[in-house]
Structure 1
Amino acid sequence: MVISVMNATMFNIVLPQMKEELGISVTQVSWVFSFYTLFYAVGVAIFGKLADKYSLKSLLTFGLAVLALGSLIGLSAQAFWMVIVGRILQAAGASIIPVMAMLIPIRYFPPENRGRALGISATGLALGNAVGPVVSALVVGAFHWRWLFAIPLLMVFMLPFYRKYLTDEQPKGGRVDWLGGSLLAASIASCVLAVTQSSWGLGAGSALLLVCFILRVRTAADPFIRLDLFRNKGYTLGLITAVIVMSIGFSLPYLTPQLLADVQQLSPAWIGFTMVPAALVTAILGKQGGKLADTRGNSFLFTAASLLLLLCFALLALFTGAPALLIACFLIFGTLGQAFMQIALSNSISGTLPRERAGVGMGLLSMINFLSGTVSTLVYSKVLDHGAGTAWNPFNSFTGTFVFSNIYLILFALYVVLLVIYRLYLKRHLIAPGQMKEGALSRF
């Protein structure tokens, strides 16, 4: 998880250098990020479905082999097209990782210990987001940017351990609705491109393809995704909650570097180091969040995570222009809270799914999380470009930070509303795995 998340973000700080060296335009160099996000989102959805039919060990072997091929092509790249091909193959192969991180806790851990396993995955996510820019700055400072392609190869060295410890599951086999999968993939691809390119035409195309996908799954004998999955009220409400949580949570890894660069005037390397303490604390305490989910319940962990995030957003809204050291301290509450929130939601949503649909269900969750982050970062960037002439927070006295303070204040208010709705309504439907009766699964 750490290396996979790093691989998604560490190329961002070398895009200007890549543009100059390869003699390409700003639009072309943006494809390094856009194509990665595109194939990653599509791959998560497809691997999630395949994991319900084929051995996780075989899928992981295939995914890491594709990732290794992409890394080698990128490492030897002498032209821009080789960079793009390398990133596409990396994304396609690495998209097995979030599916694996969701399914291993579900398939290999009993419900009463599942939260701890999900806590370890959340820890990897937090560490990858924080150390990615730091590792990138160190590698580029000592070597050429092409060596960033070599870092994901470290995952290949872990493959023998996965092949040893993952059981030899008997693949269920059966036909795969590739037409339905292709329509879904095309809809996702169009959606990602519409967001990254700000194209209404691509957005309309994505909606049309989604309608075609729905028509396909309603008529296919064995559809790619069965629509009755969404009749499971707990699962559907969990997905909606995850969209809101991830959209808000992405503000921390996206807005914080902008704040530290624009207001605190830090260099990219120092920005990375400022975000490290939050990652380290989350790495240490992430597993404790999983234990809390197992012992006190997902509702308790959801509330605790919300309070941590509320504290973080309140402090950021009040002290947006504070020294970087204080910002680093505020981030500890937010990063830890977001990790706890992901554990609580993943644990709750997994408990609403029968085992035979865990792959596609959790794959859709990972895909939706990813798309939520893509859309929300575009919204944040548009707000930053627009700026703010006045401060909505009367207690913020830092001139030139109004737009950041206003965003954090809105996110604080949104989380207050979300927490109230959760306590009054949602928690009754997001049943903890330990409380899920076997009969309920069989009836579903």
Structure 2
Amino acid sequence: MNNQRTAPDVSPPQQTNPWPALWALVIGFFMILVDSTIVAVANPAIMDTLQADINNVVWVTSAYLLAYAVPLLVTGRLGDRFGPKNIYMVGLVLFTAASLWCGLSGTVTMLIVARVFQGLGASMMTPQTMAVITRTFPPDRRGTAMGLWGAVAGVATLVGPIAGGVLVDNLGWEWIFFVNVPVGVVAFVLAWRLVPSLETHRHKFDIPGVVLSALGMFFLVFGIQEGSTLDWSTAVFASIAAGLILLGTFVWYQSWNKNEPLLPLGLFRDRNFSLANVAITSMGFAVTAMVLPLMFYAQAVRGLSPTASALLLVPMAVLTGVLAPFVGRLVDRTHPRYIAGTGFLLFAVALGWLATVMSPDVAIWELLLPIGLIGLANACIWSPVAATATHNLPPHQAGAGAGVYNTTRQVGAVLGSAAIGALITARLSAQGLTGGRPEEGVGELPAFVLEPFSNAMSQSVWLPAAILLIGFVASVCFARPVRQSDREVSADVAPSRETSLQG
């Protein structure tokens, strides 16, 4: 009764058209996902302008992803408690203001700090998009809605480098952040006008859980990313061990906490929810990890401009954007394991293919073929995995479930960013090259360095390819979701059986 009095103006989902609200939300969602990958193509320019090395610029991405990932569990609950519309709009204001700060940064340290606040804003926005889908679309129509969500997620993470290349070449790296300001204003107005005020639910907030998860993630990511820089010293292994111990303690505390834990472990009793979280973690890892070595290869080895190197991803972005909505409609009628499993396998094969052809003198068209295959694979992954994860979520746990799902995706992205940075540094050292910034600049490598640098980048691409096989195994183990029509038939059959027995 208290929940109903909190939002008396809420209409039942079937009496309202949920699509305008979803379109309004995905504009902001698109913007924050673009910022997960847009920095990759600008890294060489940032290194030159701010006098940073590879490890410093990797932190520009990792700081954003870490600040994005850690609060997602609690920001999903905030949406349940105060309304997804309100939390989304607050996060959008923070994200937009932090974007302006990023563009005005004069040192790499200031840029990293500004990216932290940008990530915090993004963490408030992301769970609300999935929560609105879960609470306004019936289960058997969520596949189509998730098709749009999947198209946005897939295209945004791939369009980021393309947009970044154009902006860096024509206006400077600062504009990859300045461009968010007008987009953020438009997104705020649309959300204010089109997103409904949904029913709220009272929640307690698990402060010890927040602290344990935040510290655990920080120590783990710091240890992985700084490992090569610090020569894998005792301090590095101590940081990784501390992170694992804190995360283990966090999981134990969540099982012990009987009030309202930050991570509702009961959600993982649903087989599909658990497997979908494993799958999307590997996806987040791969999408983030593949871009960095590819962009360094394109600019340092092939001598392409930021725009030209980013245009390599056009086949990937176009195929994902065009095919994802069709895949979304197919998800409502087909077992998700067939679509998602095919997508993960194709993605892994495409990255392996790409790694084998990344050489100093390969024809550009030979790079575009596996990149196009990645686009097809992406279209087959986002929608079926998201729809499978949310299919059985009850409305009062929509925010918590969306928070968990997006947290695991971002945890994958954080680990992908940290791991690929460490691996690139290690492979450069193995090739006899320094892990720092070449004296001539990233885009001006001497001829004798091209082959070993190219080898280091291509070898690094095998890491996300291997991680995608985990997503493949998880997705082929999906159980067929119970459709709403099946529930209605079961409900009709049960009384008829009871009547026949009584007769």
TM-score by length of 2: 0.73
Q: Please say which of residues 373-382 and 44-53 is displaced more in the overlay.
A: 373-382
Cross-structure match for 2:447: none
Distance in 1 separating the partners of 2:170 and 2:224: 35
Cross-structure match for 1:111: 139
**Contact 2:65–2:119 (CA under 8 A) maintained in structure 1:** yes
Cross-structure match for 1:396: none
Give the counterpart letter for 1:348 in structure 2.
Answer: T
Match for residue 165 of structure 1 among 189, 194, 197: 194
The answer to whether structure 1 residue 192 and structure 2 residue 221 are counterparts is: yes
Cross-structure match for 1:63: 91
Cross-structure match for 1:42: 70
Q: How far 1:360 sits from its partner (Å)?
A: 1.9
Judging changes above 3 Å, is the alpha-carbon distance between structure 1 residues 305 and 435 closer, same or farther for their aligned structure 2 residues?
farther
Q: How far 1:62 sits from its partner (Å)?
A: 0.9
Judging changes above 3 Å, is the alpha-carbon distance between structure 1 residues 99 and 320 closer, same or farther for their aligned structure 2 residues?
same
Q: Please say which of residues 414-423 and 253-262 is displaced more in the overlay.
A: 414-423
**Contact 2:342–2:377 (CA under 8 A) maintained in structure 1:** yes
**Contact 2:34–2:156 (CA under 8 A) maintained in structure 1:** yes
Match for residue 338 of structure 1 among 354, 378, 392: 378
After superposition, residues 78-93 of structure 1 pair within 5 angstroms as: 78=106, 82-93=110-121
The answer to whether structure 1 residue 351 and structure 2 residue 391 are counterparts is: yes
Cross-structure match for 1:73: 101
After superposition, residues 5-404 of structure 1 pair within 5 angstroms as: 5-22=33-50, 30-78=58-106, 82-153=110-181, 154-198=183-227, 199-217=236-254, 218-248=256-286, 250=288, 252-261=290-299, 264-306=302-344, 308-309=346-347, 312-313=350-351, 315-316=353-354, 319-321=357-359, 322-380=362-420, 385-386=426-427
Structure 1 vs Structure 2 CA RMSD: 3.5
Q: Please say which of residues 258-267 and 408-417 is displaced more in the overlay.
A: 408-417
Structure 2: which 5+ residue stretches go unaligned?
1-28, 228-235, 432-450, 491-503
**Contact 2:67–2:116 (CA under 8 A) maintained in structure 1:** yes
Cross-structure match for 1:393: none
**Contact 2:152–2:321 (CA under 8 A) maintained in structure 1:** yes
Q: Please say which of residues 235-244 and 284-293 is displaced more in the overlay.
A: 235-244
Give the counterpart letter for 2:427 in structure 1.
Answer: H
Q: How far 1:378 sits from its partner (Å)?
A: 4.5
**Contact 1:74–1:87 (CA under 8 A) maintained in structure 2:** yes
Q: How far 1:345 sits from its partner (Å)?
A: 1.2
1:53 is paired with a residue whose SS is helix
Distance in 2 separating the partners of 1:22 and 1:402: 27
- What is the number of residues matched between the two proteins? 428
Judging changes above 3 Å, is the alpha-carbon distance between structure 1 residues 327 and 382 closer, same or farther for their aligned structure 2 residues?
same
Q: How far 1:287 sits from its partner (Å)?
A: 0.4
Cross-structure match for 2:481: 431
**Contact 1:119–1:340 (CA under 8 A) maintained in structure 2:** no
Looking at CA atoms only, which structure, 1 or 2, has the larger radius of gyration?
Answer: 2
Identity value in percent: 21
Q: How far 1:306 sits from its partner (Å)?
A: 4.2
Distance in 1 separating the partners of 2:398 and 2:389: 10
**Contact 1:264–1:324 (CA under 8 A) maintained in structure 2:** no
Give the counterpart letter for 2:218 in structure 1.
Answer: A
Judging changes above 3 Å, is the alpha-carbon distance between structure 1 residues 233 and 63 closer, same or farther for their aligned structure 2 residues?
same
**Contact 1:238–1:349 (CA under 8 A) maintained in structure 2:** yes
Q: Deviation per CA, 1:345-384, whole angstroms, max 9, x where unpaired?
A: 1111112432222222222222222222333455455555
Q: Please say which of residues 7-16 and 267-276 is displaced more in the overlay.
A: 7-16
Q: Deviation per CA, 1:298-319, whole angstroms, max 9, x where unpaired?
A: 2332244246436635643665
Q: How far 1:48 sits from its partner (Å)?
A: 1.9
Give the counterpart letter for 2:198 in structure 1.
Answer: E
Give the counterpart letter for 2:246 in structure 1.
Answer: L
**Contact 1:347–1:432 (CA under 8 A) maintained in structure 2:** no
Q: Please say which of residues 247-256 and 362-371 is displaced more in the overlay.
A: 247-256
Q: How far 1:58 sits from its partner (Å)?
A: 0.6
Distance in 1 separating the partners of 2:106 and 2:460: 42
Distance in 2 separating the partners of 1:269 and 1:405: 21
1:138 is paired with a residue whose SS is helix
**Contact 1:282–1:339 (CA under 8 A) maintained in structure 2:** yes
Distance in 2 separating the partners of 1:27 and 1:55: 39
Q: Deviation per CA, 1:47-70, whole angstroms, max 9, x where unpaired?
A: 123223220001011101111221
Judging changes above 3 Å, is the alpha-carbon distance between structure 1 residues 330 and 182 closer, same or farther for their aligned structure 2 residues?
same
Q: How far 1:183 sits from its partner (Å)?
A: 2.1
Q: How far 1:7 sits from its partner (Å)?
A: 1.7
Q: Deviation per CA, 1:229-251, whole angstroms, max 9, x where unpaired?
A: 33333322332333344445555
Q: Please say which of residues 118-127 and 247-256 is displaced more in the overlay.
A: 247-256
Judging changes above 3 Å, is the alpha-carbon distance between structure 1 residues 346 and 33 closer, same or farther for their aligned structure 2 residues?
same
Structure 1: which 5+ residue stretches go unaligned?
390-398
